[in-house]
Structure 1
Amino acid sequence: MEWIKHLFKHTPEIQLFVCLALGFAIGRIKLWKISLGGVAGTLIVAIFIGTIGVALNDEVKNIAFALFIFTLGYMSGPSFFASLNRSSLRYGVFTLIEAVTVLAVTAVATVSLNLDQGTAAGLMAGGATESAVVGTATDAIGKLKLPADQIKTLQANVGTAYSISYIVGLITIVLMTSQIFPSLMRINVREEAEKLWIKLGGGSDAEGTAPALPGLVGRAHQVVYADGSTVGAIEAALGEDVTVERVRRGGEAIELTPDTELVLGDIVLLVGPRERLVGGDRRIGPEVAPPTGVDVDLETADVVLTAKEGSGRTIGELRAAIPPEERHGVFLTGITRMDHPLPVQPGTTINTGDTLHMSGTKRDLADFVPRVGFRIDPGVKADLVFISVGIVLGMLIGKITITLGSVPLSLGTGGGCLLTGLVFGWLRARRPTFGQYHPAAAQVVKDLGLATFICAVGLSSGPQAVDLIKQYGVSLAIAGLLVTLIPACVSMFVAWKLMKLPAPLALGSVAGQQCSTPAITAIQQAAGNTTPLMAYTIVYALSNVVLPLLGPVVVAMADALN
């Protein structure tokens, strides 16, 4: 043990990656349908290793948290601002319920159990299953006019209380949303999700998590029955989603227009959804093996929606608004919002900042993409100038302090970087010529930044963890249960009884107000499709912004109550 302690003290980078490796390994372990996840696993391992008296310095912790919270804001920005409209803002009631209720329950627990500022903040962060609150609360505690040793102890208590209440809160929200609430509602989630799927325009056989559109395929046919028909007539007969991409006549490819007439013996290459192409034999002629020069390569493009006429409209409405000739040969194969997939159905509403996954020929994509948004360049992963300027501005904003009574209030590094991240993400969506931050790169930075920050918090919490657990015992776990349970029950009542939301949207809203990825995963498994994500992504975007800002609030509240 002394050798390990000596190694960790002199090479702190080793203890960081040991905690990450073990933490993410533990986080993958599933008990029934629940796993802790890498962040919670890292925190538990870090608290355990921290008991031997090793820690990471504050600079590492602050840098990691700044990277995480700015990236979180950047990824949330387009969806957050797009949600500030009449149709989406009604879902804001769930974020409001979450914010007010967790503060109220935490206040009662603070008075009843005589919690200090750090324990109260950790209790709220874990019960709300929002890791970012740990950082903003820790920042706020550091500004209290208290001795340095006391501040260090309070900051350590944040991590310990968070780990206890998070585990309880995670289990609670997963069970409530995927099992208990559906039982109380006396509904079959899968049946309700299928009804909603059909209402959105999907087929009645939409079971499981299959894509909304069939896989794109190409088919070559020899012209027999279509002799004398035009290209436009063939496409219209087979359906709008089908395009004639190539026609080979006498061994040579010919130029195509909608008025081009087909002649006996032409080889026609069709591209479109599999189900639409099955009629090709009857309308054109027998399917044949494509000769050399007929095949065509389809490209894929990830396109961020920026067109004003597209935001807040359904896929069906946007499709109807764009003339068929402008979207010819372009296929929508997927939609993601903040890295969560949405149903690709005519009734699905899309917002600015959503990523549209498209397929088509290079020429067709080049013509169509500027019509709806900008194409993400896969070769550029992150504009470090843009990101660094945003973090610097966020840190400067975080230093602005307003004193309320004896409590200094400020956004801190967390609130400041979250604010600039939101604005910079929104600016990127509005002006796509600068500031690229590829979603995959952003996800890695966000996860690594949060895990590193949580590791630093856990290592510093280790020495005080045993004392805090002995002091409060099971009462802290019960308080964490209530911080999760009460807001969830209130929101479920509002969603189901007052707002009359379909069951998948009601359950997705409750998971979204908790920003709980494990909960929405369990709901999707029960639903059999992605319909719960339509509500989850809206509430998630709002809660991801509001809940981290409660860190300084809960510290000030606990300070006043004490």
Structure 2
Amino acid sequence: MEALISFARENVVILLFVVIGLGYLVGKLKIAGIGLGPTTGILIVGLVIGLAQIEVPEIIKGLTFTIYLFVLGTMVGPGLVRVLTSKSAFKYLVMCVFTAVVAGVSVYLMALVFGLNNIVAGGLTAGAVTTSAVLAAAQGAVFSGSVQLPEGLAPSDAGNILASAYAITYLYGTFGLIILIKLCPTLVGADIAKEAAKLDAVGSVPQKRIAPSVRAWRLELPKYIGSTAGELVKNVEKRREEGALPSLEQVIRNGERLNVTDDLVLAKDDILTFLAPSHLLMRGNETLGPEVAETDALAVDMASAELVLTNNAHVGRRLSEPLNEHGYGISLERVVRLGTEMPIDDEDFELIAGDVLFVFGSARCVSIFADEVGYEVTNQMTTDLMNTSFFIAVFAALGTITVTVAGIEIPPLGGSAMGAMFGGAILGWLRTRSPSMGSVSAPAATALSDLGLSLFIAAVAIGAGGSLISTMQAFGVNLLIAGAFVTTVCTISCFFFGHFIMRLNVAENAGATTGVMTGVAIAEVCKDAKSSAPAVAFGLPGAVSSLTFIVVGLVILAIVP
């Protein structure tokens, strides 16, 4: 065992990846049917291994949480602008600010009642609201020297105690929130499934969009001989009830492919290749002529694409509207907003700038649709590392600037990591204005965010393991009670505020409250609602609360004795 511990101490980088792998494995376990999740798994494994008193170099923590906060900024930037400028989304901002105030007051109260110092209170804040970004920002503030530490406490020890307090309160913050969210509709005398049904009844009934298929016919019957290609497509479209819009992909005349335009006049013996849901093409033999199975006739270039919504004409519209107006020959695979996948079986949620639409269809139709909604990420696995690096460097440097207030040096941006997050938010917003500016593709952003967060949580958990027992001995039961109090008060207050003040539908309110509390189990809420409606209200509050809770955490570090 000593040899293994010695190897781990000398090879911390290897150890971090072992912790992440084991953490994801543990995260697959379920308690009462609810998965622990990777963050909880990594936290548990890291704490256990950290009991062996293994130190992780601070440069690793600094690098990983800077990357994590920067990528978080790129994802929340467009949504934050949306919240600040939209009347319909403004209510979520109000809920986030209200809950942040409740969190700050309740943490401060618990610190006074149980005699918690500012470092323990900072970890309590991060764990009770399960916001890893708060922990990252707090760690950055501690190591930058902008936080007054308890007498005799070194920054490295303070960082470990901060992480221990976070770990002790995180578990109830995760599972207590889920239990409370399930109880809240009952507390106001409502049935979440019935309330969700009311939302689903408004507007069109959600239907699964059927992917298009390719079929071809030789035009021999008289009905469409002499008609234009546009007239033919419109007649096919009239029978459409669901799925992709039909697209006449090619017309072959005497072995030559013609340029397909709406005014192209069709002639006898033309070979017509359609891309449309199969049920629209069932009567092709009755209206066009014999079906053709020749390779050339069915040779349609297909493509998948990641499209970023930047066209203001579609911002604020329902997802179904641009699809029904311009989605010829394509199918929608998924939609990602602020790093969260949205439910595409419900196309009534409003689009915001920066939404990422993943589509599949003919290369021609995908290109046309991309021009309509915004732009296509030409290489889904490529990130503009030049602008990304410059933004991180410049804004991280700005974050180190301090001002002196009452003899205390305070960084207005909260330190280098927080500065990087502001830079990421600006870059994310600029990307919705110009596709050439700081492109960070959705898959790359998700990978960078997940890896950065996993490495950061693994690093702080290993470090916290060494002080976990002493922190438990000093504050254990009191800290658990304090964390449970903060999580419970914040969750119920947020839900009641959304219900009685914001007048939100109960299902929408449950999703928004889960987002405001940065909960991970939105799937559980949707399961209870028997609808995807709560998920639509989840994304924006989750993004904004990551920022408002960071402010709360930094304020707590500054004002708690």
Return the letter of the residue paired with 1:169: G
Which of 237, 246, 253 lines up with 1:239 in the alignment? 237
Residues 246, 269 of structure 1: 8 Å contact kept: yes
Change (3 A) 1:189 1:220: farther
Q: Are 1:434 and 2:442 counterparts?
A: no
2:32 corresponds to: 32
Distance in 1, Cα, partners of 2:258 & 2:311? 35
Matched ranges for 1:334-483 at <5 A: 334-344=334-344, 347-378=348-379, 380-405=381-406, 407-410=408-411, 411-483=414-486
SS in structure 2 of the partner of residue 381 of structure 1: coil
2:547 corresponds to: 545
2:538 corresponds to: 536
What displacement does 1:538 show? Answer: 1.4
Q: Are 1:308 and 2:312 counterparts?
A: yes
Distance in 2, Cα, partners of 1:443 & 1:330? 25
Q: Deviations over 1:1-50 (max 9, x none)?
A: 32122212222223222222222221221123322322222222222222
Distance in 2, Cα, partners of 1:359 & 1:54? 48
Change (3 A) 1:23 1:283: same
Runs (5+) with no aligned partner, structure 2: 239-244
TM-score when normalising by structure 2: 0.89
1:268 corresponds to: 272
1:219 corresponds to: 215
2:241 corresponds to: none
Residues 505, 531 of structure 1: 8 Å contact kept: yes
Which of 501, 509, 524 lines up with 1:498 in the alignment? 501
What displacement does 1:265 show? Answer: 5.4
What displacement does 1:111 show? Answer: 0.3
Change (3 A) 1:2 1:63: same
Return the letter of the residue paired with 1:258: D
What displacement does 1:502 show? Answer: 2.5
Change (3 A) 1:399 1:227: closer
1:62 corresponds to: 62
Residues 72, 421 of structure 1: 8 Å contact kept: yes
Change (3 A) 1:506 1:278: farther
Distance in 2, Cα, partners of 1:190 & 1:506? 13
Distance in 2, Cα, partners of 1:284 & 1:502? 50
What displacement does 1:340 show? Answer: 2.4
Distance in 2, Cα, partners of 1:332 & 1:469? 50
2:112 corresponds to: 111
Residues 224, 232 of structure 2: 8 Å contact kept: no
Return the letter of the residue paired with 1:303: L
TM-score when normalising by structure 1: 0.89
What displacement does 1:510 show? Answer: 0.5
Change (3 A) 1:407 1:381: same
Residues 82, 311 of structure 1: 8 Å contact kept: no
Q: Are 1:163 and 2:167 counterparts?
A: yes
Return the letter of the residue paired with 2:462: L
Stretch of structure 1 that moved more, 355-364 or 270-279? 270-279
Change (3 A) 1:526 1:271: farther
Distance in 1, Cα, partners of 2:464 & 2:380? 41
SS in structure 1 of the partner of residue 308 of structure 2: strand
1:152 corresponds to: 156
SS in structure 1 of the partner of residue 440 of structure 2: coil
Count of matched residue positions in the alignment of Structure 1 and Structure 2:
545
Return the letter of the residue paired with 1:461: A
Return the letter of the residue paired with 2:442: P
Residues 415, 548 of structure 1: 8 Å contact kept: no
What displacement does 1:366 show? Answer: 3.1
Q: Deviations over 1:65-99 (max 9, x none)?
A: 11111111112112221222222112112211221
What displacement does 1:553 show? Answer: 0.9
Matched ranges for 1:179-218 at <5 A: 179-203=182-206, 212-218=208-214
Change (3 A) 1:273 1:532: farther
Distance in 2, Cα, partners of 1:186 & 1:2? 58
Residues 169, 480 of structure 1: 8 Å contact kept: yes
Return the letter of the residue paired with 2:402: T
What displacement does 1:330 show? Answer: 5.0
Distance in 2, Cα, partners of 1:390 & 1:93? 30
Distance in 2, Cα, partners of 1:307 & 1:153? 50
Distance in 2, Cα, partners of 1:450 & 1:253? 52
Return the letter of the residue paired with 2:273: L
Stretch of structure 1 that moved more, 112-121 or 88-97? 88-97
SS in structure 2 of the partner of residue 258 of structure 1: coil
2:23 corresponds to: 23
Change (3 A) 1:408 1:555: farther
1:91 corresponds to: 92
2:126 corresponds to: 125
Residues 213, 333 of structure 1: 8 Å contact kept: no
Q: Deviations over 1:322-376 (max 9, x none)?
A: 7x6xx65455554321232334556321111011223343233334423321211
Stretch of structure 1 that moved more, 140-149 or 392-401? 140-149
SS in structure 2 of the partner of residue 302 of structure 1: strand
Residues 231, 259 of structure 1: 8 Å contact kept: yes
Q: Deviations over 1:543-562 (max 9, x none)?
A: 12222233321101213xxx
What displacement does 1:172 show? Answer: 1.2
Distance in 2, Cα, partners of 1:547 & 1:455? 22
Distance in 1, Cα, partners of 2:349 & 2:461? 42
Residues 226, 263 of structure 1: 8 Å contact kept: no
Change (3 A) 1:362 1:154: same
What displacement does 1:191 show? Answer: 4.5
Distance in 1, Cα, partners of 2:234 & 2:70? 48
Which of 252, 255, 262 lines up with 1:258 in the alignment? 262
What displacement does 1:528 show? Answer: 4.1
Distance in 2, Cα, partners of 1:497 & 1:285? 63
Return the letter of the residue paired with 1:424: L
Percent of pairs identical after alignment? Answer: 28
